[in-house]
Amino acid sequence: MASDVARHWIVVTLAVVFGFAALANAIATRGRHFGWIGMSAVVALAVAGY
């Protein structure tokens, strides 16, 4: 992780993938399953830690 460019793209890719998965999970389960909250937390922590 010595490369700032690599770190940037890893965080962006992770946030997009987990964000899409959280949205799809929330829509598919109509918000009744807590998985989308966990995935949203991953996105929030990744962006906050960046």
What is the model's pTM? Answer: 0.80
User: Residue 49: pLDDT above 90?
Assistant: no
- Look up residue 31 and give its DSSP letter: T
Give the pLDDT score at 1.
60
CB 40 within 8 A of CB 24: no
Alpha helix stretches (DSSP H) within 1-50: 4-28, 35-49
* Domain chopping of the chain, boundaries: 4-49
Give tens-digit pLDDT for 1-41.
Answer: 678 888 899 999 999 999 999 999 999 999 899 999 999 99
- Look up residue 28 and give its DSSP letter: H
Give the pLDDT score at 36.
92
